[in-house]
Amino acid sequence: MFADEALGVLGRLQHHRGLQLSEEELYRFAEPLVKRSLRWRCPSDEEAAEELIRQRGDLNLPEDQVFEKSLSLLATQLIPAWLEDAQNARADRLKMASESWESLGVEDLEGAVLHVSVSLELGDRRALRRSLEVILSQTTDLRLVLQPAFLADLEARGLVSLDTRNSSNHWCQHVQRAASLACLGEKAGVLLRRHGALLLSEGQVIAEGFNHCAPPLRPRGLDPQLGRHRTFDSPEEARTVAKLSWKRSRPRPAQRHAEVHCLLQVPQLESLKSSHTEILIVELADVGPGFAWAEPCSRGCMQLLMKHGVRQGWWTDGKGGLVTRPFRHEPGLDVAAATFEGSGRLSNDPISERSCLDMAWKQLRETEGCRPWTQEELVQQGAEAVAEQQRQAPLKLRGRVFPLPPRKRSTEYAQALRQKGHA
């Protein structure tokens, strides 16, 4: 992000101000600017222009010394090399962030969790202990605040012990288990919004789930003959009937949420109505080792829990606690009409469509006397989608080129896509 900002400044100097860099100036001017940016000291366009003009002084640069491909060289070769050389830049930024948080003097739980992770990486035990004290002053159990791997790391270093945690609260154990499940979503193609869930009946765990990639959906669009949207049987039908483009007629990627993952493993859905069934949902924070607000979403999850008789929901609030809410039982709820088949904001939503298809398939299997799916079987259904996602990362070029939004596709990237299409 910081190098992106520096490259933006250099690009505007050349394109907007006409200050073309010579090959020598790539090292004399651009390299120090990038390294300053890594320490949160990126100059403005005006400051950078003044500095470049001052460095040039009275030196008149001949036209043949101007390097026309300087930005391309910076993005693909020089900046990645400079980032590898700037080993202390990350530590400097983390130290600056730590000092800034401490100077505020705010005892905020979410900020303290981030500060603990920063202090641990910096090796600052004094700051780390102070942040742990802030956390412990606002929560009864660290297991409601910190993710399992990070908590285990703190224990291994002797910074926390079992004495600092209340082992009598079984919900804390459930939260840690659900968080461990959420981590499995990374291998299953989910890198953000990682959720884990436990379905409990009379206090006993009967199913476990986590967000993961699901089998893709067929193309969906407006059928002019019916006057409404529908899912087509094949890409060819979508292009012929709905006149969808090649891009929109391809299979649509889908994700299966943790709550639905749990419901699909229940032997008989009717059994949920006759017992006190609860569900616990945990979301891992995208930044830092804490948790986030994990209320069931309205993209089919909440509706399906209500339809099939789950009585109570528990979820992390991202502030060291759990939120609980009773669910109203609505056996006649039309989940499809309330989500992807409706005309509201969830119209044509792939996640709710995937959920409804999965539950319809589940109920059909129950009537035929088939055994329920296992957790691993459901995840394996989306394995091909995960593999395809990894192949489009994009292909083998990910990481070779500096990760900036390209203004146009490189020849190498376009050629790789063409070869993949012919394979």
pLDDT of residue 416: 57
Paired sense of beta strands 212-217 and 228-231, if any: unpaired
- Is the per-residue pLDDT at 371 higher than 80? yes
Spell out the residues 6+ positions from residue 412 whose beta carbon is closer than 8 angstroms to its own: 397
Print burial letters for 308-321: b (CB count within 10 Å at least 16), e (below 16).
bbbbebbbbebbbb
Determine the 3-state secondary structure of 208 from DSSP.
strand
Instruction: Please give the share of the chain, as a percent, with pLDDT higher than 90.
Output: 36
Identify whether residues 267 and 375 lie together within a single domain. yes
Spell out the residues 6+ positions from residue 411 whose beta carbon is closer than 8 angstroms to its own: none
Q: Cβ(119)–Cβ(297) under 8 Å? A: no
* Residue 125: other Cβ atoms inside 10 A: 12
pLDDT of residue 392: 61
Instruction: Kindly state whether residue 107 falls inside one of the protein's structural domains.
Output: no
| Rounded Cα gap, residues 278 and 203, in angstroms | 8
Q: Cβ(181)–Cβ(207) under 8 Å? A: no
Identify whether residues 51 and 200 lie together within a single domain. no
Instruction: Kindly state whether residue 79 falls inside one of the protein's structural domains.
Output: yes
Only one residue has tokens 């049987």, namely 233
Q: Which residue has the higher pLDDT, 84 or 185?
A: 185
pLDDT of residue 264: 95
| Rounded Cα gap, residues 264 and 249, in angstroms | 28
Identify whether residues 67 and 196 lie together within a single domain. no
Paired sense of beta strands 252-256 and 212-217, if any: antiparallel
Identify whether residues 297 and 196 lie together within a single domain. yes
* Each residue's pLDDT tens digit, 292-323: 999 999 988 999 999 999 999 999 998 888 99
* Average pLDDT of the residues in 193-206: 93
Print the domain residue range for 74.
2-87
User: What's the chain's Rg over C-alpha atoms?
Assistant: 27
Q: Cβ(245)–Cβ(233) under 8 Å? A: no
Only one residue has tokens 């401490």, namely 102
Q: What is the DSSP annotation of 320-379?
A: SSEEEEE----TT--HHHHTTTSSSTTTT-HHHHHHHHHHHHHHHHHHTTPPPPPHHHHH
pLDDT of residue 220: 92
Mean of the per-residue pLDDT values of the chain:
82
* Each residue's pLDDT tens digit, 237-280: 999 988 888 888 888 999 999 999 999 999 999 888 888 899 99
Identify whether residues 83 and 201 lie together within a single domain. no
Q: Which residue has the higher pLDDT, 330 or 97?
A: 330
pLDDT of residue 291: 94
* Average pLDDT of the residues in 134-143: 85
Identify whether residues 198 and 66 lie together within a single domain. no
pLDDT of residue 2: 65
Instruction: Kindly state whether residue 278 falls inside one of the protein's structural domains.
Output: yes
Identify whether residues 67 and 182 lie together within a single domain. no
Q: What global pTM score does this model have?
A: 0.74
pLDDT of residue 60: 55
Only one residue has tokens 């699909």, namely 264
| Rounded Cα gap, residues 423 and 413, in angstroms | 15
pLDDT of residue 107: 77
Identify whether residues 194 and 342 lie together within a single domain. yes
Identify whether residues 213 and 319 lie together within a single domain. yes
Domain boundary among 67, 87, 107: 87
Determine the 3-state secondary structure of 252 from DSSP.
strand
Q: Into how many domains does the chain fold?
A: 2
Paired sense of beta strands 277-284 and 312-316, if any: parallel
| Rounded Cα gap, residues 33 and 9, in angstroms | 9
- Is the per-residue pLDDT at 52 higher than 80? yes
pLDDT of residue 329: 92
Instruction: Pull the structure tokens for residue 204.
Output: 């006993």
Determine the 3-state secondary structure of 168 from DSSP.
coil
* Each residue's pLDDT tens digit, 156-189: 888 887 554 455 478 899 999 999 999 999 888 8
Strand partners, 147: none
| Rounded Cα gap, residues 140 and 150, in angstroms | 18
* Each residue's pLDDT tens digit, 386-421: 787 666 654 444 444 334 444 444 455 455 555 655
pLDDT of residue 374: 92
Identify whether residues 206 and 58 lie together within a single domain. no
Residue 211 binned pLDDT confidence (cut-offs 50, 70, 90): very high
Instruction: Pull the structure tokens for residue 188.
Output: 């299953």
Instruction: Kindly state whether residue 148 falls inside one of the protein's structural domains.
Output: no
Instruction: Kindly state whether residue 192 falls inside one of the protein's structural domains.
Output: yes
Identify whether residues 69 and 211 lie together within a single domain. no
| Rounded Cα gap, residues 62 and 180, in angstroms | 62
Q: Cβ(172)–Cβ(141) under 8 Å? A: yes
* Average pLDDT of the residues in 7-11: 83
Domain boundary among 60, 87, 114: 87
In the chain, the amino acid numbered 215 is P
Q: Point out the least confidently predicted range of 79-93, 282-296, 354-368.
A: 79-93
Q: Cβ(118)–Cβ(98) under 8 Å? A: yes
Instruction: Kindly state whether residue 403 falls inside one of the protein's structural domains.
Output: no
Report the run of H or E that residue 209 belongs to, with start and end.
strand 204-210
Determine the 3-state secondary structure of 200 from DSSP.
strand
For 319, phi then psi, to 5°, come to -130, 30
Instruction: Kindly state whether residue 364 falls inside one of the protein's structural domains.
Output: yes
Instruction: Please give the share of the chain, as a percent, with pLDDT higher than 70.
Output: 84
E strand spans, 232-293: 252-256, 277-284, 291-292
Closest by Cα among 68, 336, 394 to 220: 336
pLDDT of residue 414: 52
pLDDT of residue 393: 53
Determine the 3-state secondary structure of 7 from DSSP.
helix
Identify whether residues 186 and 309 lie together within a single domain. yes
Residue 356 binned pLDDT confidence (cut-offs 50, 70, 90): very high
